[in-house]
Structure 1
Amino acid sequence: MELADEKGEAGLTMRAIAGRLGVEAMSLYNHVGGRDDILNGMVDAVFAEIELPAPGGDWKAAMRDRAESARAALRRHPWAVGLMDSRSQPGPATLRHHDAVLGVLHAGGFSVPMAAHAFSVIDSYLYGFVLQELSLPFTNTEELDEVATGIARDAPVDAYPNLMELMTEHVLQPGYTYAGEFEFGLSLILDALRPDET
């Protein structure tokens, strides 16, 4: 996982893993069937980092906490976002995570189909937001200010009035962080989801 955190999934070759461990690449096959086994374990380890929603509480608060924990884990391991639900042999942490999410939704009044819909829409937003967040050309407020100021400086006067208004009245205001956009979108989704009528 450290190697993938540094070099991305593409840099995670059997040779690179062996080199990190100080062994020959062929010796890895005494422990794993191949790269897919390693990826399966890595994805499961990321799921293990996500705080499981506690049963018996408010489903909305549990889904919010779980989404925030998942976003934090995916930001620590940027390579993982495209792999999270791609494994045909999910590990125990993955299965435990999915079971806990579905259990909280079901206990909150969602039918099995509605729990599946809710889980899907929350995670689609979560994964999509993290992908977008990781690709932005800034990682902090200073860099954001630099990018926005550069766009405003280099753009033809009055060419992009709506974009300029967004930057001056929202993005460049004190206290703005792109992370706040995650909370807004997540709240919108959670407020729109409704348990089944009984």
Structure 2
Amino acid sequence: MAEQADTLRRAPLSRDRVLRAAVALADEAGIDSLSMRNLAQDLDVVPMALYKHVANKDELLAGMIDVVVGEIDPPVPGADWKPTIRRRILSAREALLRHPWAPLAIESRNTATPAVLAYLDSMIGTFRAGGFSVDLAHHVMHAMGSRILGFSQELFDANRRAGRSGSSDPEPPTDLPPEVAARFPHVAEIAMAASHDDDSVVGQGCDDQFEFEFALDLLLDGIERLHRQGWTSPRRSG
């Protein structure tokens, strides 16, 4: 095993090797800890050697995002749009959970990376192949938001913490203070009645995976209904 690691360490650099090493470092210690210097050290090269493959850290981060997006399952030719969209979104979620820094990295960019654009394009293509109009597909993509890439706001917040601390472990939930529970009794009631998930990042009483899939299925069912109705967006006159 040690000999294999040593052989890999001496192997010629390539863009793919640089990007995958950077992803591994970010997974281990958080995106904020990643630098060209410590990446070079991990690869046992001088920092200048990296610039033959990535022009700067921004290009490095873009490439890392594309590595993660490349882990999402491809579409299955000929499959119906709804199970295809659902499977790919859940595959995207699994990929981003493996790389907890990725949602914040994606959200913080001003422009989408090539792999993100290709993924979004293929998802729109799935809707269009399912008979969706351009108009409906456009609004569906807006409705899905970041969920189309496998994360939602509560997961985004967890990854913000992971990026700072180098750990994907969320802060432990706390009980609602009595004065808050008294002021918002329905919130307190739901918090007490909901199933518990010790790893939840949205608060005590919430099950992240269940809430994600519930909202996803709700959206897909609503989208299917609109599609069957031949929905079009309202037009303003004049």
Q: Give the TM-score taking structure 2 as reference length.
A: 0.66
* In 1: Cα distance, 2:101 partner to 2:59 partner: 16
Cα RMSD for the two superposed structures: 3.3
Q: What amino acid maps onto 2:230 in structure 1? A: E
Q: How does 1:67-86 map to 2 (within 5 A)?
A: 67-84=89-106, 86=109
Q: Cα offset for 1:116?
A: 2.8
Report the counterpart of residue 183 of structure 1 in structure 2.
Answer: 213
Q: 1:59 to 1:89 in 2, by over 3 A?
A: closer
1:185 partner amino acid: A
Whole-Å separation in 1 of the counterparts to 2:68 and 2:143? 20
For 2:46 and 2:218, the matched residues in 1 are separated by 51
Residue aligned with 1:30, SS:
coil
Equivalent pair of 2:101/2:160 in contact (CA under 8 Å): no
- Listed as ranges, the gaps of 5+ residues in structure 2 are 1-22, 162-167, 198-205, 232-238
How does 1:156-195 map onto structure 2 within 5 Å?
159=182, 161-172=185-196, 177-193=207-223, 194-195=226-227
Q: Relative to structure 1, is the Cα distance of residues 98 and 155 closer, same or farther in structure 2, using a 3 angstrom cutoff?
A: same
Secondary structure in 1 matching 2:230: coil
- Structure 2: how far apart are the matches of 1:94 and 1:157? 41
> Counterparts of 1:47 and 1:157 in 2: how far apart (Å)?
41
* Stretch deviating more after TM superposition (79-88 or 18-27): 79-88
User: Which residue does the alignment assign to 2:71?
Assistant: 49
Number of the residue aligned with 1:29: 51
Q: Which residue of 1 aligns with 2:20?
A: none
Q: Is the 8 A contact 2:104 2:160 kept in 1?
A: no
Q: CA deviation at 1:135?
A: 6.8
State the alpha-carbon separation in 1 of the partners of residues 129 and 209 from structure 2.
Answer: 30
Secondary structure at the residue paired with 2:207? coil
Shift of 1:157: 9.8
Query: What's the CA shift for 1:156?
Result: 5.5
Check conservation: 1:5, 1:78, Cα contact below 8 A.
yes
Give, in whole Å, the separation in 1 of the partners of 2:49 and 2:220: 48
TM-score between both structures, scaled by the size of structure 1 = 0.77
After TM superposition, the runs of 4+ consecutive aligned structure 1 residues lying more than 6 A away are none
Q: Does 1:90 align with 2:122?
A: no
Structure 1 residue 128 displacement after superposition = 2.2
Q: Which runs of 5+ in 1 are unaligned?
A: none
Taking the aligned partners of 1:96 and 1:135, their CA distance within structure 2 comes to 25
Alpha-carbon distance, 1:133 to partner: 5.5
Aligned length: 188
